[in-house]
Amino acid sequence: MPYLALIRHGESQWNLENRFTGWTDVDLSEKGVQQSREAGRRLHGSGYTFDTAFTSYLRRAIRTLWIVQDHMDQMWIPEFKDWRLNERHYGALQGEDKAAFQEIYGKEQVHQWRRSYAVRPPQLEPDDPRHARFEPKYRGLEPGEIPAAESLADTVHRVLPCWREQLQPRLRAGSDLVVAAHGNSLRGLVKYLEGIADDAIPHLDIPLAVPRIYEFGDDGAIRRCFYLREEGEEEL
């Protein structure tokens, strides 16, 4: 029975500082490194091994994956980076203080930006130095593919082709996969996998560095889904 482990990166420096991050390439905090080590040890201790690993173009997810693989003695497995697993693009909010913005725009507006399905945060201007079009790593993307702000719906729209082209065919062929990604790119994937309704998605939060494991049957249907927590498996 193939399995898929989804892991949100450990705490980043901007999670710690409570700033909107999105496509900004900040690294893990010391606590994030520690959380990633624990996730790797836990997966290893529970007997998991993976055939292939996937992550985004952002270092907090890449480093989480590497730390997990190191603690599983699995640094050798093939690893693919796909920009479509990046965090949702937070537009002009990137770098801003979440609490300060709540003071200015109100709790409800900030909640809409952070958790709703369809609301897009304010866009980055094309000449804003924070725009991803200035970053060499996105050179291979079509101009229309580089976002200036994304709703969760936009994020789902680019994550799903990655699922269909990269992840699903490998699971169908019997491979066990690990994906280290982000709070909102994983919310988008989980929404699709579990058929969560648009109006129920604001209630889904993915914790930092806790493996969320899906076991699939031979028919491709999900048999079981659980978090692998320190205290043991938590069925979902």
69 touches 77 (CB < 8 A):
yes
- Beta bridge partner(s), residue 28: 12
CB of 221 to ligand 3PG, least distance (A): 29
* Selected catalytic residue, list 9, 71, 131, 182: 9
Q: How far apart are CA 18 and CA 13, in angstroms?
A: 9
Is 131 within any annotated ligand binding site?
Answer: no
Nearer to ligand 3PG, 74 or 151 (CB): 151
Beta strands in 150-211 (DSSP E): 177-181
Percent helix / strand / coil, the chain, rounded to 5: 45, 15, 40
Is 90 within any annotated ligand binding site?
Answer: yes
CB of 217 to ligand 3PG, least distance (A): 32
Question: Helix crossing, 30-45 with 59-71: angle to 10°?
Answer: 40
2 touches 176 (CB < 8 A):
yes
CB of 150 to ligand 3PG, least distance (A): 11
Nearer to ligand 3PG, 73 or 135 (CB): 135
Q: How far apart are CA 67 and CA 90, in angstroms?
A: 26
95: left (phi over 0), alpha (psi -120 to 50) or beta: left
Is 111 within any annotated ligand binding site?
Answer: no
CB atoms within 10 A of CB 145: 12
Is 9 within any annotated ligand binding site?
Answer: yes
28 touches 14 (CB < 8 A):
no
* Selected catalytic residue, list 87, 131, 150, 182: 87
Q: Which residue has its beta carbon closest to ligand 3PG?
A: 21
**Known catalytic residue at 9:** yes
Nearer to ligand 3PG, 63 or 171 (CB): 63
Nearer to ligand 3PG, 2 or 211 (CB): 211
Residues found near ligand 3PG in the complex (CB under 6 A): 20-22, 87, 90, 114, 182-184
Is 8 within any annotated ligand binding site?
Answer: yes
CB of 19 to ligand 3PG, least distance (A): 7
Q: Side chain identity at 127, as an amino acid letter?
A: D
CB of 225 to ligand 3PG, least distance (A): 21
Is 185 within any annotated ligand binding site?
Answer: no
**Residues of each annotated binding site for substrate:** 8-15, 21-22, 60, 87-90, 98, 114-115, 183-184
**Residues of each annotated binding site:** 8-15, 21-22, 60, 87-90, 98, 114-115, 183-184
The residues carrying an active-site annotation are 9, 87
